[in-house]
Amino acid sequence: TSSFAKVAEYSAKHPKPADITFAYGTAGFRTIGETLESTVFRCGLLAALRSQSKQGRVIGIMITASHNHERDNGVKLVDPMGEMLQQSWEGYCTEIANASTDAQVVEILSEIAEAEGIDLSVTPKVAYARDTRPSGPLLLSALQDGLAAMDVDATNYGIVTTPQLHFFVRCLNTKGSPAEYGEANEAGYYRKYGQAFLRLVEGKPLPSTLYIDAANGVGAPQVRKLAEAINSPYFSIDVRNTDTETLGKLNIDCGADYVKSNQHQPRGIMLTPSGRYCSFDGDADRILYYYSDECGTFHLLDGDKISTLVATYLRDLVATAGIEDLDVGVVQTAYANGSSTRYIKDTLKLHTVFAMTGVKYLHHEAEKMNIGVYFEANGHGTVLFNASAVNTLREFVPASPAQAEAVERLWALRDLINESVGDAMADMLLVEAILICKGWTLAQWDESYTDLPSRLLKVVVNDRNIFKTTNAEQTLTSPHGLQEVVDELTAKFPKGRSFVRPSGTEDAVRVYAEAATRGECDQLAYSVAGAVF
Ligand code: NG1
Ligand code: ZN
């Protein structure tokens, strides 16, 4: 059709590598950066179509590979409210990425337009950005060709964090509505979160400096801008691993993924007792805290600890406010430490559910709760207030100044949350605000429960596609008989828990194990890995 008149010509500039099959997975497309040119170009086309299918609402595109190696890159689409792309469109992405000719690309666009009943006269709108990776500029220009081919009204946000791009998309699409989310630019982002943070902490004792490991990624310049905008001793930071220029530094020996996998501090950070530390990942959508005790032992405060801290604080505020019928729930994945799950159920007495790995699954479960707190153990997560929670809060009439203050704090907390997606900077301010309000050190926060020793292993197999799971990915249904072996091995260890699942982002199978002691946990992990291999 004439709507796609320019597509074939532009597409010819970005031929698909013949030997690669691309797949839109949990984190969009992700592989060696240089091989993604055609895919990113085609994502531009598809984003345009997606925008037209949403009556011209803005669709986001982020070029990043998060915590993965610097040579990798990736691309994902962001839906109008800043959430991950609707699942039914992931298949379209995979389909168009693998079209072998330019004519086929056009054909697939036409087919989707027809299948979805898309009005092609609508002007498509797209907002896009990238992280600091060296392949970023190449992929960005491929994307711009895709947008030009579809006459998209496009906004380039330059180099920002993944959650900032999600935020901008949501702001653009709610502008002028009662659900207006904020101003769709960097200053608007820093202002919104900075102000909400200060509303919560004003008048409380000042915290000590927070050391931030920015993974030599995009979080480094952005968190400095955040600190400038907040401009308050309540947010005194020292940012380390800020070199986004030198090749070979991104995520190497630093960043949230490194700290979580290795259970020790990153390069560039010396731990002293009572010091406060956190790490972002390469695109600043994950955060973890850690500290060292007097004996020099490393303690990690992971996504589960953040989740329980936040859920406890919210639960207590709801109770203080005297609001009934406002339930706080927690969504976890199977990677959540068993101690955290037990703590949420038995001590906090909060509702908790397991979702599949990948934030979109957690997000959907959290939407079903009044106030849903969701975090992956690796530090990716956020909090959602659903429509009924917002209504309840709006209509609630406080009966005392203490109740009124608690309600006020709940509103401020909601403003401090990036509801579109997990956000290292927003989550950091959230944790900081809660710690300041409670007057807690990291060690005091850590006291709530003790993690069981755990181990996550990556096993490279011939074909990970033969591994199929059920029960929120905790039980294998294929290959035949393997789950029985895992069960037998697990039963040998006190507090043993282990599961095997194919990675959604890497060509590997992951083995997780936990048990009462470090030695038993490692024995379990390695014996299960042996059975998988
Ligand atoms: P996969 O590769 O499917 O295990 C990893 C993380 C997820 C999520 C995605 C997206 C673990 C065990 N898995 O998924 O939690 O963050 O990457 O980045 O951490
Ligand atoms: Zn990330």
Report the separation in Å between the CA atom of 237 and the middle of ligand 2, taken as the mean of its atom positions: 21
Residue 68 CB–ligand 1 contact under 6 Å: no
- Average pLDDT value for residue range 69-95: 97
Measured by CA distance, the residue closest to atom 4 of ligand 1 is: 503
Q: Please give the backbone phi and psi of residue 212, each rounded to the nearest 5 degrees, phi first.
A: -120, 125
Same domain, residue pair 30 and 146 = yes
Q: What is the position in ligand 1's atom list of the atom closest to the CA of 26?
A: 10
Residue 173 CB–ligand 1 contact under 6 Å: no
pLDDT value of residue 189: 98
pLDDT value of residue 405: 97
pLDDT value of residue 305: 98
Give dist(CA 319, CA 324) in Å, integer.
8
Which of 472, 471, 456, 450 lies closest to 343, judged by CA? Answer: 450
Output the CA angle 184-190-195, nearest 5 degrees. Answer: 115
Give me the count of residues in the chain.
533
Last residue of a domain, one of 115, 144, 159: 159
Over the stretch 447-457, which tens digit does the pLDDT of each residue have? 999 999 999 99
Q: Which ligand gives the minimal distance to the CA of 28?
A: 1
In a domain, 204, yes or no: yes
Give dist(CA 128, CA 132) in Å, integer.
14
Residue 72: half-sphere exposure toward Cβ, Cα within 13 Å: 19
Report the separation in Å between the CA atom of 205 and the middle of ligand 2, taken as the mean of its atom positions: 32
Same domain, residue pair 24 and 121 = yes
Q: Round to the nearest angstrom and report the end-to-end CA distance of the chain.
A: 50
Same domain, residue pair 241 and 151 = no
Measured by CA distance, the residue closest to atom 17 of ligand 1 is: 505
Residues paired with residue 444 on neighbouring β-strands, in sequence order: none
Q: Three-class SS of residue 262? A: helix
CB atoms within 10 A of CB 468: 13
**H-state helical runs in 294-386:** 303-321, 338-342, 359-367
Which of 81, 79, 53, 65 lies closest to 27, judged by CA? Answer: 65
Residue 335 CB–ligand 1 contact under 6 Å: yes
Structural tokens at position 47 = 């984003």
Same domain, residue pair 335 and 204 = no
Residue 17 CB–ligand 1 contact under 6 Å: no
Give dist(CA 508, CA 520) in Å, integer.
24
SS3 letters across 494-528: CCCEEEEEECCCCCCEEEEEECCCHHHHHHHHHHH
Residue 137: half-sphere exposure toward Cβ, Cα within 13 Å: 1
Residue 510 CB–ligand 1 contact under 6 Å: yes
Same domain, residue pair 208 and 108 = no
Last residue of a domain, one of 241, 276, 301: 301
Residue 66 CB–ligand 1 contact under 6 Å: yes
* Confidence category of residue 347, pLDDT binned at 50, 70, 90: very high
Measured by CA distance, the residue closest to atom 18 of ligand 1 is: 27
CB atoms within 10 A of CB 43: 32
Q: Three-class SS of residue 442? A: helix
Which of 250, 256, 262, 299 lies closest to 281, judged by CA? Answer: 256
Measured by CA distance, the residue closest to atom 13 of ligand 1 is: 357
Residue 376 CB–ligand 1 contact under 6 Å: yes
In a domain, 403, yes or no: yes
Report the separation in Å between the CA atom of 355 and the middle of ligand 2, taken as the mean of its atom positions: 19
Give me the sheet containing 328-332, strands edge to edge.
351-354, 328-332, 371-375, 381-385
Last residue of a domain, one of 159, 179, 212: 159
381 pLDDT above the threshold of 60: yes
397 pLDDT above the threshold of 90: yes
Residue at 271: amino acid letter: L
Same domain, residue pair 294 and 313 = no
Check if the beta carbon of residue 250 is closer than 8 Å to that of residue 70. Answer: yes
Which residues constitute the domain of residue 16?
2-159
In a domain, 179, yes or no: no
1 pLDDT above the threshold of 70: no
In a domain, 178, yes or no: no
Q: What is the CATH number of the domain that holds 89?
A: 3.40.120.10
CA 251 to chain centre: 16
Q: Which amino acids are annotated catalytic?
A: 66
Q: Please give the backbone phi and psi of residue 97, each rounded to the nearest 5 degrees, phi first.
A: -65, -30
* Confidence category of residue 294, pLDDT binned at 50, 70, 90: very high
Same domain, residue pair 140 and 103 = yes
In a domain, 175, yes or no: no
In a domain, 11, yes or no: yes
Residues paired with residue 60 on neighbouring β-strands, in sequence order: 78, 127
In a domain, 182, yes or no: no
Report the separation in Å between the CA atom of 510 and the middle of ligand 1, taken as the mean of its atom positions: 10
Give dist(CA 244, CA 314) in Å, integer.
36
Q: What is the largest CA-CA distance in the chain?
A: 71
Q: What is the number of domains present in the chain?
A: 4
Measured by CA distance, the residue closest to atom 10 of ligand 1 is: 27
In a domain, 167, yes or no: no
Residue 3 CB–ligand 1 contact under 6 Å: no
Output the CA angle 48-188-165, nearest 5 degrees. Answer: 35
Measured by CA distance, the residue closest to atom 12 of ligand 1 is: 335
Same domain, residue pair 100 and 76 = yes
Same domain, residue pair 381 and 473 = no
Over the stretch 447-505, which tens digit does the pLDDT of each residue have? 999 999 999 999 999 999 999 999 999 999 999 999 999 999 999 999 999 999 999 88
pLDDT value of residue 392: 96
Query: What one-character DSSP code corresponds to residue 464?
Result: G
Report the separation in Å between the CA atom of 272 and the middle of ligand 1, taken as the mean of its atom positions: 31
**H-state helical runs in 157-232:** 162-174, 186-201, 219-230
Give dist(CA 147, CA 38) in Å, integer.
13
pLDDT value of residue 505: 83
Report the separation in Å between the CA atom of 491 and the middle of ligand 2, taken as the mean of its atom positions: 35
Same domain, residue pair 65 and 198 = no
Output the CA angle 138-139-143, nearest 5 degrees. Answer: 120
Q: Please give the backbone phi and psi of residue 427, each rounded to the nearest 5 degrees, phi first.
A: -65, -35
Residue 174: half-sphere exposure toward Cβ, Cα within 13 Å: 17
Same domain, residue pair 18 and 145 = yes
CA 152 to chain centre: 27
Over the stretch 180-234, which tens digit does the pLDDT of each residue have? 999 999 999 999 999 999 999 999 999 999 999 999 999 999 999 999 999 999 9
**ipTM for the whole complex:** 0.97
Same domain, residue pair 29 and 106 = yes
Residue 505 CB–ligand 1 contact under 6 Å: yes
Task: Give the E-state strand segments of 64-146 in sequence order.
Answer: 72-78, 125-130
Those residues whose C-beta lies under 8 Å from the C-beta of residue 488, and which sit 6 or more positions away, are: none
Structural tokens at position 509 = 């199978």
Surrounding ion ligand 2 within 5 Å at CB are 66, 281, 283, 285
Q: What is the CATH number of the domain that holds 495?
A: 3.30.310.50
